[in-house]
């Protein structure tokens, strides 16, 4: 299980009312600084962290939530030098990628970086 960084945790607390409610934090007061989380964690033993984690998961279960392994999706909007492909071009690219040779670069090595064919395009409102 991957750990959530203290800064990402703070962002989640500030970004989601559900995080603040779960943690019992006031909606009209600032959240603790990110270093508060790391200082708290450093004071606990590994066994205490495991016990605390199990308690949090048990509380989720009591509230009817379940946590399963999944995928986090980054939905940030970023400027790109690339341009959208037409539907025909995208179809051809998907067919090429599904073939064995589509998984290799021009030197025959496994492809490390490539266009994310699952992503989509948007036009910002200015």
Q: Tell whether 37 is covered by a domain.
A: yes
Q: Tell whether 105 is covered by a domain.
A: yes
Work out the mean pLDDT of the chain and round it to a whole number.
Answer: 79
Q: Tell whether 71 is covered by a domain.
A: no
Give the number of domains in the chain. 2
Q: Tell whether 24 is covered by a domain.
A: yes
Question: Do 58 and 86 fall into the same domain?
Answer: no
Output the pLDDT for position 51. 92
Question: Do 49 and 18 fall into the same domain?
Answer: yes
Query: Residue 91 to residues 36, 48, 96: CA-CA distances in angstroms?
Result: 49, 52, 9
Q: Residue range 96-110: average pLDDT?
A: 82
Range of the structural domain that residue 30 is part of: 6-62
Confidence of residue 1 (pLDDT cuts 50, 70, 90): very low
Q: Tell whether 73 is covered by a domain.
A: no
Entry pTM: 0.38
Question: Do 52 and 23 fall into the same domain?
Answer: yes
Q: Tell whether 123 is covered by a domain.
A: no
Spatial distance between the Cα atoms of 13 and 19, rounded to a whole number of angstroms: 5
Q: Tell whether 98 is covered by a domain.
A: yes
Question: Do 14 and 58 fall into the same domain?
Answer: yes
Question: Do 50 and 90 fall into the same domain?
Answer: no
**Beta-carbon contacts of residue 33 (< 8 Å; ≥ 6 apart):** 10
């Amino acid at each position: 299980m991957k750990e959530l960084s203290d800064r990402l945790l703070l962002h989640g607390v500030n970004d989601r009312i559900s995080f603040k409610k779960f943690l019992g934090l006031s909606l009209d007061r600032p959240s603790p600084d990110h270093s508060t989380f790391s200082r708290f964690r450093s004071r606990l033993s590994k066994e205490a962290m495991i016990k605390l984690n199990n308690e949090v998961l048990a509380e989720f279960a009591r509230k009817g939530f379940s946590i399963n392994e999944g995928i986090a999706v980054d939905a940030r909007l970023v400027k790109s030098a690339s341009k959208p492909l037409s539907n025909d071009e995208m179809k051809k690219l998907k067919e090429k990628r599904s073939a064995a040779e589509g998984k290799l670069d021009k030197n025959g090595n496994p492809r490390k970086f490539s266009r994310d064919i699952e992503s989509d395009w948007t036009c910002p409102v200015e």
